[in-house]
Amino acid sequence: MTRTTDPAGPPAPTPTPVAGRSPRRTSRRTNRGDGRLRRLAAATASAALALGAVLAATAPVAAPAAAAPPVPTPVVDSPNGRGDVILNLFQWTWDSVAAECTSTIGPAGFGYVQVSPPQETIQGTAWWTSYQPVSYRIDSKLGTRAEFENMVDTCRAAGVGVVADAVLNHMAGADQGGGTGVAGSSYGVESYPGLYGPNDFNDCRSNISNYGDRYQVQNCRLVSLQDLRTGSEYVRGTIAGYLNDLLSLGVAGFRIDAAKHIPAADLAAIKGKLTNPNVFWVHEVIGAHGEPIQPTEYLGSGDSHEFHYGRDLKSRFDGQIKDLRTIGDGKLPSDRAGVFVDNHDTERNGETMSYKWGAKYKLANAFMLSWPYGAPSVYSGYTWTDKDAGAPGASATAVPDASCASSAWVCTQRWTEIAGMVGFHNAVAGTAVTNWWDDGNNHVAYGRGSKGYVTLNNTANAVTRTYQTSLPAGTYCDVVASKDCSKTVTVSGSGTFTATVPAYGALALHVEAADDGGTGGPGPVDPSGTTTVFYATGGWNAYNVHYRVGTGAWTAVPGAAMTAACTGWVSKEIALPDGATGPAATITAAFTNGSGSWDNNGGKDYSLSGAAVAVSGGTVTAGDPCDDDGEGPGPVDGQGDASFAVTATTTWGQGVLVVGSIPALGSWAPANGVALSAGTYPVWTATLDLPAGTSFAYKYVKRDGGGNIVWESGSNRTATVGQDGTVTLSDTWRS
């Protein structure tokens, strides 16, 4: 929404990276005085919009999208798996989001990141200026078009899709008069040169005063914002052109701001003009009992946010959480509902909980990520006392890069509890609630099939008790308590365990975080059911892949024939066993022309996993190389040396391996890790080729002659291969 609240909407329930980049952004804005460059940028934007309008005219009408967006590709290995959780990074610059995708969002297992509106807006320091467009140029306080495109590409490489907050209902407020946008575009009341004029706005020029009147809500001005005539084919085509421009940059979906103020049929018509009319999008429809406009009206073109969910979380964590068991009753269907604990509007108007609730806020997020209702969105903004205040350090035309080193930014995504529960959510996906228990008040516990178990204590005292689960016997990491499995819980053969849950705290266990005597080691990504293997062509007249899945049988030589996929590539889709994960879903393969020539990775064979994986010149990269019109996956060029060195003492018969999040490091499977040389003992070393720009997580393990594995302690190490294709790592074993 805009401003700080929807003034005539539902009343709020009772009871209440690196800093210092702003000079560069300020300089970038100042340099826009070059009229020639400004005209060139304007011409480019106009051309993009024109192209979008042409494409829109022939696009088919969309079918409704499912609530949980599909997992983005490429599927990148994460210690927490990969799922559909959206992280809402409010008022983060594009450069900050890109860095966070690589360092935190991808490794944590989030599927998507939602970013603030990317179009040019009015000037001003308040956050709501981002919701007052003056043009559809991708040039805002949060970064340039080039920075936005780089962010999308960087996040995609980390396995994270970008969802853009799209402002389609209106332009700037009439109360702003005229002026110049942050990127230099001029505007006035109902005057947006080259874009919109008076006939492109609805006839009602007054503000909405009665939310019980459908006409007012969808035709009059929301707090002075100039309401677009979305029933007009010209306006629909222009909006579709903007969205198509974003799709051309790789955006994976949209959050439709102020959707309640646009007739559902208009939004369906706009979506039908997109180059991808099936793209995920979710409507912001603030439902209230007794109002004529309800979220269900919008399910024909996408999903809707379920605002009653966040309101009920607030009520129950301020009352009795035993009632959480029925939180999905009387709401949107689960597969069509977007859910959240809070967002940028509701944290300010008191409608929901917020970071200011402290431990209870963390508990509410833990519940949302563990309960099977809706598609969850985790919110991460900044601290505030003034409800209108913009991001820390914001000027009228620029926002400094976010910094989690500063207490001014909340950085929810870096909290141990959040990261742990994202992994829990991914691990238990598709399972039903089992073993529900509550004390009749504020202590609850429940399982998710035989894959997970969680207990929430919403009281001021620690509680010790024995819990009944459906988990297999074993020792599990408490993923709420630590990221390195420093706190474990042992489940008996009958499925019980005894533990103490802290005051206003939680405990969560799942089968992908089982302790193995070290730190448990992170689990690889849950596969999609198939792996498509691509192989770069050159010199052979036929291509076959000889393989086995997990510990299964090998195909008969020469294996399965591969067929042409795009210029320079052949492929074969390989089915995985039902429910297979980790090593059971890993393909061991070699390639042959069927006439005696083989590529078996120097006698080691290839270890392949994920939804799509490409092999070229002995190097394995995640993703579909044909996504870019056959140009091949970006990382293949620019190979260089990645040097690993770790100081580690061993007993007789032990060796040291490096295991990590990418196929070249075994996809977290020690059996497929890279063995290090003891030639300079106690420093163990290895060198391998990795693509420039590759980011990965890794740890060291010790393995003896019997195959027993010991993981080093502590959290996952991370590294990124430099643009020159090299990275040098010098580490010490963590006992």
| 663 backbone dihedrals φ, ψ, rounded to 5° | -55, -35
Residue given tokens 């959240």 in the structure block:
340
Identify the burial level of 428 via C-beta atoms within 10 angstroms of its C-beta, where 0-12 means exposed, 13-18 middle and 19 or more buried. Answer: buried
Half-sphere exposure of 542 (CA within 13 A, CB side): 11
Torsion angle, alpha carbons of 609, 611, 616, 621, to 10: -70
C-alpha atoms less than 13 angstroms from C-alpha of 309 in its C-beta half-sphere: 29
**C-alpha span between 672 and 693 (Å, rounded):** 22
Pick the catalytic residue from 77, 100, 120, 284.
284
Sign (positive or negative) of CA dihedral 18, 23, 24, 28:
positive
Element (H, E) at 658: strand 655-660
In the chain, % helix, strand, coil (3-state, to 5) comes to 25, 30, 45
Q: Please, are residues 39 and 255 in contact by the beta-carbon 8 Å criterion? A: no
Angle at 259 between CA 254 and CA 300, to 5 degrees: 75
Q: How far apart are CA 399 and CA 379, in angstroms?
A: 19
Sign of CA dihedral 93, 94, 95, 101: positive
CA distance linking residue 724 with residue 77, whole number of Å: 24
Is residue 351 annotated as a catalytic residue, yes or no?
no
User: Which stretches within 449-501 are classed as H helix?
Assistant: none
Cβ-contact 236, 269 below 8 angstroms: yes
Q: Determine the residue type at 50.
A: A
- 433-438 and 443-448 strand pairing: antiparallel
Q: Which of 257, 312, 345, 599 is an active site residue?
A: 257
For 383, which DSSP code?
Answer: -
* 668 DSSP 8-state letter: T
Q: Could you confirm whether 257 is annotated as catalytic?
A: yes
3-state class (DSSP) for residue 77: coil
Residues assigned a catalytic role: 257, 284
